[in-house]
Structure 1
Amino acid sequence: MPVDPPKSSIEQIIADLNKKDLYHLAYGRLLEAIEEDPGNENLPILLGDTCLGLNDFNEANRLYSKALEKQPDQQRVLSRMPRVLLGTGDKEGAIEAGKRLIKLVPAARKNVSAISLADTYERLNEIELAKATIDEVVTDGDEEKAMVEYVMARVLIQEKKYEEAVQRFKQYIEMRDSFEYEKALSPSAEAWFMICKAYDRMGEYDLAWEAAEHAHRDFQGWDGRKMLQDLDEMRSFMTRPVIEGIAQADKEYPWAPLFIVGMPRSGTTLLEQILSMHPSVSNGGEMATPSKMTLDLPRITNSLLPWPKSMIDMRARDANKLGDIYMKAVAYFAGDSTIASNKSLMLQIQLGFLSRVMPNSRAIMLYRHPLDNAVSCHTTPILLVGHRYTTDLSTFGKIWVARRKLQEHWIEHLDIPIMELHYESLVQNQDEETRRIIDFLDVEWEPGCLDFHKSTNVARTISSDQVNKKMYSTSDGRWRNYEKYLGPVIDEVGEYL
C-alpha cells in the first residue's frame, strides 16, 4: 500500500483545523495557501475536505473530481466520494463510488470499504442492500467490528426497532472508547445523538435528553462572544446610507441567486427540496463560495480595511468580478435552470454584501419557533459540523436572537426582493405556501413541487428525515416534550415566544 508523503506545515495546520471542526478558519487559510503555492496538488484536496465539512457538496465534488482526473486511483479521495455524491443527491453515483473503492483498495481494507458501502445503502434507505452487504463481511479486528455495529444500529433505527438499536449503539460506544478511532469513522458523540433519536421516537424524552447531554459532554466551554460580536457589528455597520454607498454590480448574470436564510434545523433543506422539483431552480446546497468572496474582497479592492468595512472600497468593476466568482461556482451545477439556490448558514451575515454584488438576487427569510429550533439543534449532530453554540442553551438563545434580528435588519434595509416564510406555516399549509413561494420567484406553477419527497435529488443532510417523506407536522411543538430543560433558552428568546 502506498505511503502518504509527509505533510507540509500548512497541510498539517489545515488538517488539525478540520479535525477540530474549524472549517471556516481552515477555508480561509487554504485559499491563501493555494494562492501562494498553486503547484501543490494536495491543497485543493484539503480544500475539498474543508468544503465537505462545510456541507458544500457541489464544490467538494468539483475539487475531488478534478483530483481524480489527474490520478484516478487516489483512495483517500475516492473514500470521500460516496458522502459527497450523497450530498449532491447523486444516489447512483454514490453507490458506484463505493463499489469502485472496494475494487481498488488492498485486501486489508476491503472489509472497511464494504462496510462503508453498507453505510451508504442505509443512508439511502436501501435497508436490504445494507444488510446483505454487511452479511458478506467477515470482520477482522476491533475497528471493523465497531463499524458493523454502528451501521447495523442505524439499520435498526430505520426498521423502527428502537430498543435493539439503543443496545447496539451502546455496544458500539464501548468498543469505540476502547481504542483510538478516526473521526471520519463516526465518533461516539454521533452514536449518542442516534440514541437520542431512538429514545425520542419511543417517547422516552428524559432518556433522549440524557443521551444528547452525553453527546455534548466533550464540547463544553465554547465561547460565543466573537460570533455575537460579528452579528451585532454587521447590524450596526450596515445602515441604509452605508448600504446605498456601497458600489453595486452593473452586469447581467446568467442565473438569479436565491438565498435561503435561516438557522440550522429551521427548514432550509425542506424548502430547497421543494424547489428542486421546479425545472427553473437548481440547488446549490450550502455553498461556501460567498465566504471565498469575502476573503477575496480586500485583495480585489486593494482595501486596507477589515471585513465588513472593506465593502466601502468596492467599485462596480470589483463587484462584477466577485459576482463572476459566484457564477463560476453556480455554473458547475446549475445547467439550464434560471435560478440557483444557496442555503449556506453564513448567509445571515453575508446577505447585505451579496445583495450589492448580485442585485438580481432574491432571499427567503425562513423562521422556526425558537424552542422547537433549540430542541432540534441540541438533539441532532449539527454540533459535529461546527455548530458548537448548540451545546450551551443560553448561548444558543443569544445567538438565535442575534441572527433573527439581523434577518429583520436586512428586510428593512435591503432593496432586493425578500419573502418571509415560517416553517410551521409551510408544513401546515403546504399548498398555499408553496404557491406563494413560486409566485415570489416569478416562475410558472409546477405541481411537482407538492410532491417534493419524490425528487430524484435525494437530500442527504442531517435534515433528510423529513424531506424524503411526505410533509408532516409532528415536529411542530416538539419542544413541549423537553420544556423542563429549556429554561436557559426561554430566558433569552422570550420576545419571540
Structure 2
Amino acid sequence: MMNKPALDQAFKRAAAAHKAGNLAEAKAGFERIIKAVPNMAQARFQLARILLEADDAKGAVIHLEAARKSAPKQPPVWQLSAIALGVLGDTARIDKFNAELRAAPIPATVKSDIAAKMKSDRPAEFGGAPKAEMDALIAALVRRDGDQAFDIAQRLDTAHPGNALILNALATAYELKGDATAADVIFRKAIRTDPYAATVRTNYARYLSEREQFLPASQHLERATQLQPDNPKLLIMWAVALCEIKQARQAEEAAHKAIELSGGDPEAKLALARAQSLNQKPDAAVALFNELVAANACMPRALIQRANHYQHSGDFEASNTDYLAALAQKPDMTELFYQIAVGRKFAADDPVIPILEDRAKAASPDGIDVNIAFALSKIYEDTKQYDRVFTYLNAANATLDEAWNPDRYGNFENHVHEIALKVDLQKVAANSPNRANPILVTGLPRSGTTLTEQILAAHSTMTGVGEALWSRAALHPVMASKAAADWTENDLTAALNTLGSEYERMARQDFPNAGRMVDKALGNHEQIGLLRAAMPDARIVVLKRDPRDNLLSIYKNRFAAGSLKYNTDMRALAHYYSRFLKWLDYWQDLWPDSFHVLDYDKLTADPEGEARKLLAYCDLPWEDGVLDFHKSDNSVRTLSVYQVRQPIYRSSVRSWERYADELAPLFDALKEFGVPLPD
C-alpha cells in the first residue's frame, strides 16, 4: 500500500514516462499504482490510453470498465471507453456500454456527443478541412500520386489534427510512397481516432489483404460489416478474406447475404463459388463457376478460380484447360504457368514447354520471370533434363532473395522458451477443461505433411480440414499480446485454456458436422508444449525427412512472398533446419513424448508398418483404406496437390544425388550447423 506522497510521485513518474514516449516504463508504473490502489480511476484511465497505443484494446476496455465504476461522473472515462470499445469491436460489450451510457451521471450533452460518434451512418466528417483541399487529396489518391497526396494530407493533418479520414488518406499516401511501416502505424492511429468509421477499417483491410495478412484483414472487415450490415461490397470483401483464411462456412454465409442484398452481383457469386469449393460442395461451386464463365463475368478470375477448384479436386486436365484459357485473356499472369507446372507430370513433347521456353528467351535484361523459371525447372526435372534444372532454380531464387534474419528468429525462440517455463505445462494440461482432440500434423514444408494428413483423413472416423489457420489464430494472444516477462502463472494458465476453447470454437464453426479432425499446420513444431497444454487430448505428429531431400524440395518450389523467408538461400535453409531439430529436442526435454515423430523416408519404405504406428499413437483402429488415400475425393490445396493423387512412391527419396554438385553449398552449411545426415 502506497501513502499519498509516494502515490503522487509514482503517478508523476509514470505520466512523465508516457509523455516521453517510454510506454513500457509508463505501463509498468501505472500497473504498480493499480496493484496498490485498485480503485484509482485516473491510473486505470492513463493505463488504458497506453494500452490503446499498444493495440491492446481488450486490456484498455477492462481497465476502463473498472474506471467507470470508480469514477462514473468523469466524461473522459466514458469518451475513451467508447473509443476503446470501437477499436475492440465487441458488439456485446458495446450494447452493454450503450445501456450504461443512458443512465450515466454525466452531462446530457456529453452523452449525446458520445452516442453520435458511435453511430456508423453519420455523414463523413473532415474536421473543418476545406472541401477543395479534400477533393484535391482524393484526386491525388485516385491517380496514385503518392507525393502529392502526402503533401496535401500532411498539411491537412497539421491544420486539422485528429481527423480519422485525413489520417486514412495520409496512411494511403505513405503506402503509395512505399513506406509500409509508416502506413501501418497511421492506419492504426486512424482507427483509434474513429473506430466507428467503416471506411477507415475497410481501407486498412484492403492494405492488409494486398500484403497477404488475411487474418487481421478479415477481423477488420467483420467489424466493418457490423457497422454497415447492409453493404454488399463489404460483405463480398469479407467473404473473400474469409476464404483466404479457410473460414469457409462464414464466407459462404457472407457471400449469400451479399447476393441477396445486391440482387445477384457477379462478384458475390464468385465469392460464394469459392467458399463452396472450400466447404466441400463441389457441385454447387462448379455450377456457379460455369454460370459466371458462360456470362463472361468476373473474367479471367472466374476461369482461374474454377481451375483452382479442379486442380484441388484432382481433375488436372480440366484445370490446365482453364488456366490456359485465362492466360489467353491475360498473358502477363505468369503465375498460372507455375500452377500448371505443379499440377501435373510433364512429357518431353508437351505443347506447353515451347510456350514457356519462348517466354524465357524473350526475358527482359532484368532477368527471367520467376514463375516461368520455377515452372521450367519443374518441367526439366519431369523430363529428366537434370542439367538444365538449376540454371532456372538459382535464377528464380536469386530474384526472390527473401533474406532470413536468424537473430530475429532467435529472439522469437527465446520468447517461446520464456513463456513455456512460466507454468508447469503438464499440470496445466492435467487440469484443463478442454476436450478438443484434433490430430495436428506439422513439420517443415515438403516433408510429407500433406501425405500424412491424407492418410489420416482417409480413416472412417476422421475429417481432413487441410491447412486450417485455427491454431495460428488461437495462439496469437499468447504469443503476441505481451512480453514473456509480463505473464503471471495464473494469467498464462487462463490464456492457455482460452487457446484450447478458441481453437475448438473456430473448428466447430467451420466444420459443425465433423467428427475428429486432422489439421495440417506448418510451424506448430515451435509451440508443441503450448498446444498440448491447451488441448491435452490432441495428438501432434511431426514429420522429418532427410534434410538434403527436404531442403532441395523447398528450394525447388515457390512459396507465397514472406511466408518462409529462409527458402531462397541454401545457407539459410540449412540454418533453419538446424533450428527445427533443436525445437524437437527442446520439447522432448521439457515434455517427453508430447509428440510423435514420423520419418518420411521410413513411411515410403514401409507404408503399412509406419501407418500402423501412426494410427496407434492417434488412438485410431487400423483400417486398410488409409493406404488408399489417393482414391479419395478430398480437396488438396498445397504444392503437393499432384503427388497426393498418386499411391505412396519413393522416387523422391535421395533425389538430391542428381544435383550433388549444385547442392555443395547446402551440404557445407548443413555440416556447419551440425545437422546429422542419414547414410
Letter in 1 for 2:608: D
Contact 2:235 / 2:258 at 8 angstroms: preserved in 1?
A: no
Secondary structure, counterpart of 2:559 in structure 1: helix
For residue 389 of structure 1, report the CA deviation from its aligned partner: 1.6
Aligned counterpart for 2:249 among listed residues 53, 62, 75: 62
Contact 1:363 / 1:416 at 8 angstroms: preserved in 2?
A: no
Matched ranges for 1:9-408 at <5 A: 9-21=200-212, 23=213, 27-28=215-216, 31=219, 38-39=226-227, 56-57=245-246, 59=247, 61-72=248-259, 73-76=264-267, 78-79=269-270, 91-102=282-293, 106=297, 109-110=298-299, 113-114=302-303, 116-118=305-307, 120-121=309-310, 124-126=313-315, 129=318, 143=330, 150=337, 154=341, 157-158=344-345, 160-161=347-348, 164-171=351-358, 188-225=369-406, 228-234=409-415, 236-237=417-418, 242-244=423-425, 247-248=428-429, 250=431, 252-253=433-434, 255-297=436-478, 305-306=482-483, 310=487, 312-314=489-491, 316-334=493-511, 338-384=515-561, 386-408=563-585
Secondary structure, counterpart of 2:543 in structure 1: strand
Secondary structure, counterpart of 1:218 in structure 2: helix
Q: Deviations over 1:226-277 (max 9, x none)?
A: 5522453156425667444984584554540222120011111100000111
Letter in 2 for 1:377: I
Distance of 1:215 and 1:119 partners within structure 2: 23
For residue 52 of structure 1, report the CA deviation from its aligned partner: 5.3
Aligned counterpart, 2:69: none
Contact 1:352 / 1:410 at 8 angstroms: preserved in 2?
A: yes
Change (3 A) 1:252 1:478: same
For residue 114 of structure 1, report the CA deviation from its aligned partner: 3.9
For residue 126 of structure 1, report the CA deviation from its aligned partner: 3.3
Change (3 A) 1:335 1:355: same
Letter in 1 for 2:289: G
Change (3 A) 1:96 1:202: same
Aligned counterpart for 1:422 among listed residues 578, 588, 599: 599
For residue 222 of structure 1, report the CA deviation from its aligned partner: 2.3
For residue 429 of structure 1, report the CA deviation from its aligned partner: 0.5
Q: Deviations over 1:313-364 (max 9, x none)?
A: 5355544333221111221455565532222113122322222211221211
Distance of 2:474 and 2:228 partners within structure 1: 22
Change (3 A) 1:442 1:369: same
Distance of 2:222 and 2:487 partners within structure 1: 22
Contact 2:209 / 2:217 at 8 angstroms: preserved in 1?
A: no
Distance of 2:343 and 2:626 partners within structure 1: 31
Distance of 2:543 and 2:395 partners within structure 1: 30
Change (3 A) 1:75 1:158: farther
Distance of 1:116 and 1:337 partners within structure 2: 26
Change (3 A) 1:388 1:163: farther
| Total equivalences in the alignment | 470
For residue 68 of structure 1, report the CA deviation from its aligned partner: 0.8
Contact 1:438 / 1:444 at 8 angstroms: preserved in 2?
A: yes
Distance of 1:260 and 1:149 partners within structure 2: 29
Secondary structure, counterpart of 1:388 in structure 2: coil
TM-score, length of structure 2 as denominator length:
0.60
Gaps of 5+ in 2: 1-141, 143-168, 173-198
* Identity in percent: 19
Please identify, of 254-263 and 431-440, the stretch whose mean Cα deviation from structure 2 is larger.
Answer: 254-263
TM-score, length of structure 1 as denominator length:
0.79
Contact 2:447 / 2:544 at 8 angstroms: preserved in 1?
A: yes
Q: Which is higher, the Rg of structure 1 or of structure 2?
A: 2
Distance of 2:429 and 2:515 partners within structure 1: 21
Secondary structure, counterpart of 2:660 in structure 1: helix
Change (3 A) 1:225 1:81: farther
Distance of 1:389 and 1:260 partners within structure 2: 21
Matched ranges for 1:436-451 at <5 A: 436-451=613-628
Distance of 1:463 and 1:309 partners within structure 2: 41
Contact 1:249 / 1:323 at 8 angstroms: preserved in 2?
A: no
